[in-house]
Structure 1
Amino acid sequence: MTDSLDRTQPNGWGAAQVGGTYSLSSSKSFSADGKTGVMALPRPGASLTASLPAVSASDLTASTTIDVPRIPTSGNGVFAGLQLRVATGSYYQADVRVGAGGNLTLTIVRVNGSTANQTTVAPEIRVATGLKAGASVQLEFQATGSNPVALSARAWQNGAAKPNWQATANDASAQRIQRSGAIAAWSYLSASTATQNVAFDNLTASTLVPVTATTPAPAPTKPPVATPTPAPTTPAPKPTAPTTPVTPTQPTTPAQPAPAADPSIDTTGMRVAAGAAAIGTTQYAVPANAIAVSPSGSDSAAGSVAAPFRTVQHALDVAPSGATIVLRGGSYHESLNVPSGKAVTIQSYPKEAAWLDGSSVVGGWAKSGATWVASGWNHVFDSSPTYTRGAPDGTSAGWQWLNPDYPMAAHPDQLFIGGVAQTQVSSRAAVKPGTFFYDTAAKQLVMGSDPTGKEIRASDLQKAISVGSAGFTLKGVGVRRYAPSVPDMAAVTDYKGGATFENVSFLDNATTGVSVGGSGNTLRQVTAARNGLLGIHANNSDNLKLSGVLAANDNSEHFNTSPVSGGVKITRSRGIDVQSSAFLNNASHGLWFDESVYGMTVANNDSLNNAGNGIVIEISSTANIVNNVVSGNAKSGIKLNDVSSVQVWNNTIANNVRNLDITQDARRGANASDAGHDQRQAFPDPTMTWITGPIQISNNVISGGTGNCLLCVEDYSHQFSAAQMKITSDHNLYRRPSANAPSWAVIWSRGAGDPSIYPTFSAFTAATGQDAHSVLQEGAAAAAPTQLSGIASALSSVPTAIPSSLASLTGKAAGTVHLGAW
Structure 2
Amino acid sequence: MLNRNIVLALSTALLFGSCGRLPEVQAAEQGTEDSPFSLRTLAVGDPAEETDAAKLSNGRLYITEQVPVSTSSDPVTGGVYVAPGGDDDGGTGNPGRPYRTLRKAVAAAPAGATIVMRGGEYRDVADVTIRKRLTVRSYPGERVLIKGSRVLPDSAWRRESGSGLWYTNWTLNLPRVSQASVGGSECPKCIDSRVPTADYTEAVFVNGLGLWQVLSKNEVGGATAHSPAKFYVDRGNNRLYIGLDPRDKRVEATEDVSGLTVDNTPATDGTVVRGLNFLHYAGKALSVEGDEVRVEDNTFAWSSTVPLGVNASARASRSVIRNNRFFYNGRKGLTGSARGMRVLGNTIAYNNVEGFSKSWDAAGMKLTQANDVLVADNEAFGNNATALWLDINMENIRMVRNYAHDNSGFGLFYEISKGGIIASNVAARNGVGIAVSGSSDVQVYNNTLVENGRNLYVKDTSRRNPDAGEVARGLDWDTRNVVIKNNLHSDFKALAVDTESYRCPDTEPMIHAINNNLYQRTSTAGKANQYAWVEKAVRTSEGCRVPEFKWWADFNRVVGREPDAINLNDVPQSALFRNAGADDFRVLGGSRASRTGQALPQDVANAINEGSSLDVPSGQAVNMGALHLR
User: 1:728 matched to which residue of 2?
Assistant: 514
Label 1:702 to 1:422 Cα distance change in 2 as closer, same or farther (>3 A).
same
* Aligned mate of 1:820, from 621, 625, 630: 625
CA distance in 1, matches of 2:164, 2:326: 32
User: 1:714 matched to which residue of 2?
Assistant: 500
**Alignment of structure 1 residues 608-623 onto 2, 5 Å:** 608-623=405-420
Gap regions ≥5 residues in structure 1: 1-262, 267-276, 395-399, 485-489
C-alpha contact 1:801 1:818 (8 A) present in aligned 2: no
Label 1:573 to 1:752 Cα distance change in 2 as closer, same or farther (>3 A).
farther
Amino acid in structure 2 at the alignment position of 1:505 = T
User: 2:115 matched to which residue of 1?
Assistant: 325
- What's the secondary structure of 1:726's corresponding residue? strand
- What's the secondary structure of 2:348's corresponding residue? strand
Amino acid in structure 1 at the alignment position of 2:430 = N
* Aligned mate of 1:703, from 490, 493, 496: 490
Label 1:343 to 1:719 Cα distance change in 2 as closer, same or farther (>3 A).
farther
Write out per-residue CA displacement over residues 395-449 of structure 1, whole angstroms, 9 at most, x where no aligned residue.
xxxxx32223321112111111111100011111110101111222333221112
CA distance in 2, matches of 1:724, 1:306: 65
Label 1:350 to 1:511 Cα distance change in 2 as closer, same or farther (>3 A).
same
CA distance in 1, matches of 2:333, 2:205: 19
Write out per-residue CA displacement over residues 244-299 of structure 1, whole angstroms, 9 at most, x where no aligned residue.
xxxxxxxxxxxxxxxxxxx9589xxxxxxxxxx964642233233x1111111111
Larger displacement relative to structure 2 (683-692 or 561-570):
683-692
CA distance in 2, matches of 1:752, 1:686: 33
1:553 and 2:358 equivalent? no
Q: What is the CA distance between 1:616 and its match in structure 2?
A: 0.8
- What's the secondary structure of 1:316's corresponding residue? helix
- What's the secondary structure of 2:553's corresponding residue? helix
User: 1:508 matched to which residue of 2?
Assistant: 302
Q: What is the CA distance between 1:747 and its match in structure 2?
A: 2.0
C-alpha contact 1:693 1:727 (8 A) present in aligned 2: no
Label 1:799 to 1:387 Cα distance change in 2 as closer, same or farther (>3 A).
farther
**Alignment of structure 1 residues 343-354 onto 2, 5 Å:** 343-354=133-144
C-alpha contact 1:738 1:780 (8 A) present in aligned 2: no
* Aligned mate of 2:288, from 487, 491, 494: 494
User: 2:190 matched to which residue of 1?
Assistant: 401
CA distance in 2, matches of 1:563, 1:589: 10
Question: Aligned-residue CA RMSD in angstroms?
Answer: 2.8
Write out per-residue CA displacement over residues 685-738 of structure 1, whole angstroms, 9 at most, x where no aligned residue.
42313222322222211123333x321223223474464641322242343632
Write out per-residue CA displacement over residues 494-553 of structure 1, whole angstroms, 9 at most, x where no aligned residue.
2233221100100111111101122111100011111101100112x1000011111111
User: 2:262 matched to which residue of 1?
Assistant: 467
- What's the secondary structure of 1:409's corresponding residue? helix
C-alpha contact 2:127 2:258 (8 A) present in aligned 1: no
User: 1:602 matched to which residue of 2?
Assistant: 399
Larger displacement relative to structure 2 (777-786 or 608-617):
777-786
**Alignment of structure 1 residues 453-464 onto 2, 5 Å:** 453-464=248-259
User: 2:204 matched to which residue of 1?
Assistant: 415
User: 2:388 matched to which residue of 1?
Assistant: 591
Q: What is the CA distance between 1:348 and its match in structure 2?
A: 0.6
Q: What is the CA distance between 1:791 and its match in structure 2?
A: 6.7
Write out per-residue CA displacement over residues 222-251 of structure 1, whole angstroms, 9 at most, x where no aligned residue.
xxxxxxxxxxxxxxxxxxxxxxxxxxxxxx
User: 1:690 matched to which residue of 2?
Assistant: 477
Q: What is the CA distance between 1:624 and its match in structure 2?
A: 1.3
User: 1:477 matched to which residue of 2?
Assistant: 276
* Aligned mate of 1:655, from 451, 465, 489: 451
1:742 and 2:535 equivalent? no
CA distance in 2, matches of 1:685, 1:793: 48
Larger displacement relative to structure 2 (763-772 or 322-331):
763-772
Label 1:656 to 1:695 Cα distance change in 2 as closer, same or farther (>3 A).
same
Larger displacement relative to structure 2 (490-499 or 742-751):
742-751
CA distance in 2, matches of 1:371, 1:802: 68
- What's the secondary structure of 1:462's corresponding residue? coil
Query: Relative contact order: is structure 1 or structure 2 higher (C-alpha 8 Å, sep ≥ 6)?
Result: 2
Amino acid in structure 1 at the alignment position of 2:567 = L
Label 1:787 to 1:500 Cα distance change in 2 as closer, same or farther (>3 A).
closer
Label 1:735 to 1:694 Cα distance change in 2 as closer, same or farther (>3 A).
farther
Amino acid in structure 2 at the alignment position of 1:661 = Y
Label 1:299 to 1:694 Cα distance change in 2 as closer, same or farther (>3 A).
same
Q: What is the CA distance between 1:457 and its match in structure 2?
A: 1.2
User: 2:146 matched to which residue of 1?
Assistant: 356
C-alpha contact 1:652 1:785 (8 A) present in aligned 2: no
1:580 and 2:359 equivalent? no
- What's the secondary structure of 1:511's corresponding residue? coil
User: 2:241 matched to which residue of 1?
Assistant: 446
Q: Which of these two proteins has the greater Rg computed from alpha carbons?
A: 1
C-alpha contact 2:423 2:444 (8 A) present in aligned 1: yes
1:633 and 2:430 equivalent? yes
- What's the secondary structure of 1:590's corresponding residue? strand
Label 1:462 to 1:662 Cα distance change in 2 as closer, same or farther (>3 A).
same
CA distance in 1, matches of 2:333, 2:71: 22
CA distance in 2, matches of 1:716, 1:703: 29
Q: What is the CA distance between 1:790 and its match in structure 2?
A: 5.2
- What's the secondary structure of 1:749's corresponding residue? helix
Write out per-residue CA displacement over residues 112-137 of structure 1, whole angstroms, 9 at most, x where no aligned residue.
xxxxxxxxxxxxxxxxxxxxxxxxxx
C-alpha contact 2:206 2:250 (8 A) present in aligned 1: yes
* Aligned mate of 2:158, from 358, 366, 373: 366
Larger displacement relative to structure 2 (361-370 or 403-412):
361-370
Q: What is the CA distance between 1:773 and its match in structure 2?
A: 2.2
CA distance in 2, matches of 1:572, 1:665: 19
CA distance in 2, matches of 1:537, 1:393: 14
CA distance in 1, matches of 2:566, 2:524: 15
C-alpha contact 2:332 2:352 (8 A) present in aligned 1: yes
CA distance in 2, matches of 1:452, 1:317: 39
**Percent identity over paired residues:** 24
C-alpha contact 2:596 2:621 (8 A) present in aligned 1: no
1:520 and 2:281 equivalent? no
User: 2:63 matched to which residue of 1?
Assistant: none
Write out per-residue CA displacement over residues 29-77 of structure 1, whole angstroms, 9 at most, x where no aligned residue.
xxxxxxxxxxxxxxxxxxxxxxxxxxxxxxxxxxxxxxxxxxxxxxxxx
C-alpha contact 1:573 1:596 (8 A) present in aligned 2: yes
- TM-score w.r.t. the length of structure 1 is 0.60
- What's the secondary structure of 2:471's corresponding residue? coil
Amino acid in structure 2 at the alignment position of 1:651 = N
Label 1:813 to 1:798 Cα distance change in 2 as closer, same or farther (>3 A).
closer
Amino acid in structure 1 at the alignment position of 2:120 = G
Q: What is the CA distance between 1:463 and its match in structure 2?
A: 1.2
- What's the secondary structure of 1:766's corresponding residue? helix
Q: What is the CA distance between 1:761 and its match in structure 2?
A: 0.9
User: 1:563 matched to which residue of 2?
Assistant: 360
CA distance in 2, matches of 1:372, 1:387: 31
Amino acid in structure 2 at the alignment position of 1:813 = V
Write out per-residue CA displacement over residues 633-684 of structure 1, whole angstroms, 9 at most, x where no aligned residue.
12x2111001111221221112222110011111223x34xxxx9xxxx343
C-alpha contact 2:529 2:548 (8 A) present in aligned 1: no
Would you say how many aligned residue pairs link Structure 1 and Structure 2? 527
Q: What is the CA distance between 1:774 and its match in structure 2?
A: 1.6
CA distance in 2, matches of 1:554, 1:313: 29
Label 1:777 to 1:816 Cα distance change in 2 as closer, same or farther (>3 A).
closer
1:376 and 2:159 equivalent? no
CA distance in 1, matches of 2:582, 2:422: 17
* Aligned mate of 1:531, from 305, 325, 329: 329
Amino acid in structure 1 at the alignment position of 2:197 = M
Gap regions ≥5 residues in structure 2: 1-51, 56-66, 223-228, 540-544, 574-579
CA distance in 2, matches of 1:803, 1:683: 27
- TM-score w.r.t. the length of structure 2 is 0.77
CA distance in 2, matches of 1:621, 1:280: 36
Label 1:392 to 1:306 Cα distance change in 2 as closer, same or farther (>3 A).
closer
User: 1:295 matched to which residue of 2?
Assistant: 84
User: 1:429 matched to which residue of 2?
Assistant: 218
1:342 and 2:136 equivalent? no
* Aligned mate of 2:440, from 638, 644, 656: 644
